[in-house]
A and B are shown apart, each in its own frame.
Chain A
Amino acid sequence: MSQVIESDVCIIGGGISAAMVAERLAERTEASITVVEAGGRTASLEERTATRARMLAYGENPYPNDHIPGQTGTGEMYQSMVLGGAAMHWGGAVPRYSPEDFRVRSLYGVGYDWPITFDDLEPYYQEAEERMGVAGEQGPPEYDPRSKPYPMPPLPLSWNLERMREWTDAAGIPFWTQPWARNTEPWQGRNVCRRCDTCAVCPTGAKYTPDFAFDRLLAAGRMRLHGRTLIRSLDLASGSDRVESATGFHQDAPDQPVEFRARTFVLAAGHSWSSHLLLLSANSRFPNGLANSTDNVGRYMTGHWFASGFIELPMRLYPGIFPNNSLLSHRFASPGPLDRYLRHDIRLWESTVGREARLAADDGRVLWGDEVMADWRARTRSTATARIRSYYDVIPTPESRLTLDSGMRNRHGDPMPRIDYVAGRATLDLEPHTHETLLGRFDELARAAGGRMMSTRASRLFEHPGGGCRMGDDPSTSVVDRWGRTHDHENLFVVGAPTIVSSGCANGTLTFCALSLMAAEEIAKG
Chain B
Amino acid sequence: MAESRRTFLKQSAATVAVVSLPGCAPTAAERPDALVPATLRAVGEAVLPEELGADGRERSVAAFERWSEGLEPVAEMAHPYLVPETVFTGPDPRPGWAAQLSGLDIESGKRFGTSFAEVGVPERRRILEPHVRRAGPDFGRPENAAHIAVALAAHFFASPIATDLCYGRAIAKQQCRGLAGAGDEPAPLPGAAS
Q: Is B133 an interface residue (CB 8 A)?
A: yes
* Closest B residue, CB atoms, query A69: B86
Q: Is B54 an interface residue (CB 8 A)?
A: no
Question: Please, what's the 1-or-0 string for A332-362, where 1 marks a CB less than 8 Å from any CB in chain B?
Answer: 0000000000000000000000001111100
| Distance A69 CA – B86 CA, assembled complex (angstroms) | 9
Do the beta carbons of B82 and A463 come within 8 Å of each other? yes
List residues of B (148-172) whose CB comes within 8 Å of A's CBs: 150, 153, 157, 160, 162-163, 165-167, 169, 171-172
Do the beta carbons of A78 and B183 come within 8 Å of each other? no
Q: Is A96 an interface residue (CB 8 A)?
A: no
Q: A79-B84, A318-B169, A380-B167 are in contact. Are A58 and B143 (CB under 8 A)?
A: yes
Q: A54, A89, A162, A360: which contacts B136 (Cβ < 8 A)?
A: A360
| Distance A32 CA – B53 CA, assembled complex (angstroms) | 66
Do the beta carbons of A359 and B132 come within 8 Å of each other? yes
Do the beta carbons of A359 and B153 come within 8 Å of each other? yes
Q: Is B186 an interface residue (CB 8 A)?
A: yes
Q: A57-B21, A159-B185, A194-B179 are in contact. Are A72 and B78 (CB under 8 A)?
A: no
Q: Is A377 an interface residue (CB 8 A)?
A: yes
Q: Is A320 an interface residue (CB 8 A)?
A: yes
Do the beta carbons of A359 and B176 come within 8 Å of each other? no
Residues on B with C-beta less than 8 A from A372 are 49, 153, 157
* Closest A residue, CB atoms, query B172: A320
Do the beta carbons of B179 and A184 come within 8 Å of each other? yes
Residues on B with C-beta less than 8 A from A69 are 86
Residues on A with C-beta less than 8 A from B125 are 366, 368
Of the candidate stretches B26-34, B66-74, B94-102, the one touching chain A is B66-74
Residues on A with C-beta less than 8 A from B169 are 318
Do the beta carbons of B186 and A195 come within 8 Å of each other? no
Q: Is A56 an interface residue (CB 8 A)?
A: yes
Q: Is B7 an interface residue (CB 8 A)?
A: no
Residues on A with C-beta less than 8 A from B129 are 366
Question: Please, what's the 1-or-0 string for B54-70, where 1 marks a CB less than 8 Å from any CB in chain A?
Answer: 00000000000001001
Of the candidate stretches A19-27, A150-158, A475-483, the one touching chain B is A150-158
List residues of B (173-190) whose CB comes within 8 Å of A's CBs: 173-179, 182-186
Q: Is B135 an interface residue (CB 8 A)?
A: yes
Do the beta carbons of B185 and A193 come within 8 Å of each other? no
| Distance A373 CA – B47 CA, assembled complex (angstroms) | 11
Do the beta carbons of A58 and B72 come within 8 Å of each other? yes
List residues of A (358-417) whose CB comes within 8 Å of B's CBs: 358-360, 364, 366, 368-370, 372-373, 376-377, 380
Of the candidate stretches A166-174, A196-204, A442-450, the one touching chain B is A196-204
| Distance A366 CA – B125 CA, assembled complex (angstroms) | 10
Residues on B with C-beta less than 8 A from A319 are 163, 171, 173
Do the beta carbons of B84 and A78 come within 8 Å of each other? yes
Nearest Cβ on chain B to A270's Cβ, whole angstroms:
12
Do the beta carbons of A56 and B174 come within 8 Å of each other? yes
Q: How large is the interface on B (under 10, 10 to 19, 20 to 34, 35 or more residues)?
A: 35 or more
* Closest A residue, CB atoms, query B135: A359
Identify which of B20, B78, B82 gathers the most chain A CB atoms within 10 Å of its CB.
B82
Q: Is A432 an interface residue (CB 8 A)?
A: no
Do the beta carbons of B82 and A195 come within 8 Å of each other? no
Residues on B with C-beta less than 8 A from A58 are 70-72, 75, 89, 143
Residues on A with C-beta less than 8 A from B81 are 461, 463
| Distance A200 CA – B82 CA, assembled complex (angstroms) | 14
Q: Is B24 an interface residue (CB 8 A)?
A: no
Do the beta carbons of A368 and B47 come within 8 Å of each other? yes
| Distance A69 CA – B75 CA, assembled complex (angstroms) | 15
Question: Please, what's the 1-or-0 string for A72-96, where 1 marks a CB less than 8 Å from any CB in chain B?
Answer: 1111111110000000010000000
Residues on B with C-beta less than 8 A from A80 are 79
Question: Please, what's the 1-or-0 string for A285-329, where 1 marks a CB less than 8 Å from any CB in chain B?
Answer: 000000000000000000000000000000000111111010000
Do the beta carbons of A192 and B179 come within 8 Å of each other? yes
Do the beta carbons of B132 and A366 come within 8 Å of each other? yes
Residues on A with C-beta less than 8 A from B47 are 368-369
Q: Is A254 an interface residue (CB 8 A)?
A: no
Do the beta carbons of B136 and A53 come within 8 Å of each other? no
Q: A58-B143, A194-B179, A359-B132 are in contact. Are A53 and B18 (CB under 8 A)?
A: yes
Residues on B with C-beta less than 8 A from A140 are none
List residues of A (92-141) whose CB comes within 8 Å of B's CBs: none
Question: Please, what's the 1-or-0 string for A257-288, where 1 marks a CB less than 8 Å from any CB in chain B?
Answer: 00000000000000000000000000000000
16 further A-B pairs in the complex, CB-CB below 8 A; given A359-B138, A366-B129? A58-B143, A61-B77, A76-B82, A79-B85, A158-B182, A159-B185, A198-B174, A319-B163, A320-B171, A321-B182, A356-B139, A359-B139, A359-B150, A359-B153, A366-B132, A380-B166
Can you list 19 A-B pairs, Cβ within 8 angstroms, ordered by A?
A53-B19, A58-B71, A59-B143, A61-B78, A67-B79, A77-B82, A78-B82, A79-B83, A89-B78, A156-B179, A195-B182, A196-B174, A198-B174, A320-B163, A325-B182, A359-B132, A359-B137, A370-B49, A376-B166
Q: Which residues of A are at the interface with B, using a C-beta cutoff of 8 A?
A: 50, 53-62, 64, 66-67, 69, 72-80, 89, 155-159, 162, 184, 192-198, 200, 203-204, 318-323, 325, 356-360, 364, 366, 368-370, 372-373, 376-377, 380, 461-463, 465
A-B interface, 8 closest residue pairs, ranked by CB to CB distance from nearest: A320-B173, A359-B136, A360-B136, A357-B157, A360-B137, A196-B176, A76-B82, A194-B176
